[in-house]
Amino acid sequence: MNFLLEGFFQAFNLLLSGNAETYSAMWATVKVSSYSIGSSLLIGIPLGFCLGYFDFRGKKPLRTIVDTMMALPTVFIGLLVYAFLTHRGPLGNFGLLFTLPGIAIGQTILALPIVIGLSATAVESMDTKIRITIMSMGANRRQLFLSSLWESRHGILAGAIAAYGRVMTEVGISMMVGGNIKWHTRTITTAIALETNKGQFGMGVALGLALIAIALCVNVSVSFLRRRN
């Protein structure tokens, strides 16, 4: 077990000394996960709201599909995105393979069903009296939509955090679409996998701690925002 303890000491050493390789992976992770979570929230929240709020034909099968997609394996998404972005693929001309935006596309596909599904659940569990209350105050359709969205914000936020957690910790997409290129597309999770294979536990543990620290920062910020509201 000594190697684990040594790994922890080495981890603090790497983080405190500002090791460039470690910080490069951390920066790539923050950047790519921000792209993917931003785009999945922009697309997913309105879709999730509509799925939860409105009754329409085919709603139940659609909900089942979304719920199933919440469990999509990351390597499968990585494979599909790779196939689309490779130079022989339909989106090959954009040159997105082995880039951070390429990884972000894959991670958006990963996060989107989670954001849609959990937003829909938050809206569905919203008190039905809220609609009457908002309308009885004289709201128009747009105001009704925005106020209902705001009232279900806690549930939607929980969905966003769950999606962010999934995006931050995935390996399959980053590895297959990003290629784990040092200084460019190496994220924390792909770096941990690589360093562990090389027997560099210190580096692996350092990156793991960094990942936990980022997750902690995100959760603390969200909790602070919730308390303020």
Partner 1 sequence: MDIPVYEIQSLNHSYAGKTVLSIDHLKVQPASIVGLIGPNGSGKSSLLRLLGLIERPTQGKILFNGLMVEPFSNEARFRITLLPQEPFLMKRSVLNNVAYGLKLRSNGKDIIHKAGEALALVGLPFKDFARRPWYALSGGETQRVALAARLVLKPKVLLLDEPTASVDAASAQLIKEASLRARRELGTTLIVASHDWQWLYEICDEILHLFKGKILGRSRETIIFGPWQKLAPGKWGKILSAKQQLLVPAPPNQEAAAVIEVLSVSEDGSSVAGEDIVLSGTVSRLSLERKTGKIFATILVGDLPFTVRLTFQQGKAHTIFPGKTIFIRYRLDQIKWI
Least distance from partner 1 to the Cβ atom of residue 60, Å: 18
C-alpha distances in Å from residue 199, one per residue of 48, 89, 187, 202, 204: 44, 36, 18, 9, 9
Q: Which of 57, 60, 141, 228 binds partner 1 (CB under 8 A)?
A: 141
Tell whether residue 125 is a contact of partner 1 (CB under 8 A). no
Distance (Å, rounded) from C-alpha 124 to C-alpha 43?
Answer: 18
Report residue 202 CA to chain centroid gap.
26
Least distance from partner 1 to the Cβ atom of residue 169, Å: 31
Tell whether residue 227 is a contact of partner 1 (CB under 8 A). no
* Number of continuous H segments (helices) and E segments (strands) in the chain: 11, 0
Tell whether residue 19 is a contact of partner 1 (CB under 8 A). no
Distance (Å, rounded) from C-alpha 9 to C-alpha 83?
Answer: 41
Binding mask 153-182 for partner 1 (x = CB under 8 A): xx----------------------------
Q: Which of 2, 17, 93, 136 binds partner 1 (CB under 8 A)?
A: 136
DSSP 186: -
Q: Find the binding residues for partner 1 in span 72-111 (CB under 8 A).
A: none
Stretch that binds partner 1, among 51-59, 150-158, 176-184, 194-202 (CB under 8 A): 150-158
Task: Assess contact for 134 and 210: CB atoms under 8 A.
Answer: no
Judged by the rule CB under 8 A, the positions of this chain that interact with partner 1 are 127, 129-141, 143, 147, 151, 153-154, 229
